[in-house]
Chain A
């Protein structure tokens, strides 16, 4: 079985631009979560979606948005990019939304904002 996949692997943008990151969960997983990981820090929660509905949102500005599609894949959009948005963006999938359910992380998308 394929694990969580993310695209693209790397991305370079300039300030003010918009970016879309994509994530495909493990087959059968209905929950997708997005995290931002700045170098040297732990991941910070951005969004969680389950069955195409937003189930949680972290402390991020409205420039960040996401959605989940009927096939459970997901997109993260970031508008009006700032230098501080440079980070590794991780997607994680799980069967359900929480409890002891393990989250499986993808390889991440490395975003660099110049």
Chain B
């Protein structure tokens, strides 16, 4: 069964600090991995997408890494801001394509304190 595990479940950090969120997956075959940001009560917004051959991808203060050998990904947030408070969801797609090939993690709930 395809699975995506995220850690930590929740995280509280001070504004201006950096943090790293983890994602481990057992999706096979693998096509791509995406990170989404979801504000409370809102729909997820795409941050990055990485295919098998990509090791890192940045989007502003967000940097995602992918190790396809160990099936691990991380999302690093630099110089956190209050607006970064949200849930961050890791989504892995199998090579079949289509929405039914997406496996969602439960997310990491990040709180930035002033």
Contacts and interface: CB of A to CB of B under 8 A. Distances in A.
A98 B41 contact: no
Interface size class of A (residues with CB under 8 A): 20 to 34
A58 B101 CA distance: 10
Interface of B: 4, 31-32, 34, 36, 41-46, 49, 51, 89, 91, 93, 96-102, 104-107
Contacts of A105: 36, 43-45
10 contacts: A42-B4, A42-B89, A42-B91, A42-B106, A88-B41, A99-B31, A99-B97, A100-B31, A104-B46, A110-B41
Query: Which 10 residue pairs spanning A and B have beta carbons closest together?
Result: A98-B97, A105-B43, A56-B100, A42-B104, A33-B99, A48-B99, A98-B98, A42-B106, A105-B44, A97-B98
A102 interface: yes
Nearest to B107: A42
A67 to B, nearest CB: 16
Given A98-B93, A107-B42, A40 B106 contact: yes
Given A45-B100, A107-B42, A110-B41, 11 more contacts: A4-B43, A33-B99, A43-B44, A43-B89, A45-B99, A48-B98, A92-B43, A97-B98, A98-B93, A103-B46, A105-B45
A31 B89 CA distance: 22
A25 interface: no
Nearest to A34: B99
Nearest to B109: A40
Nearest to B50: A100
Interface of A: 4, 31, 33, 40-45, 48, 55-58, 88, 90, 92, 97-100, 102-108, 110
Nearest to B36: A105
Contacts of B99: 31, 33, 45, 48, 55-56, 92, 97-98, 103
Nearest to A33: B99
B88 to A, nearest CB: 11
Contact of A97 (B32, B51, B97): B97
A48 B104 CA distance: 15
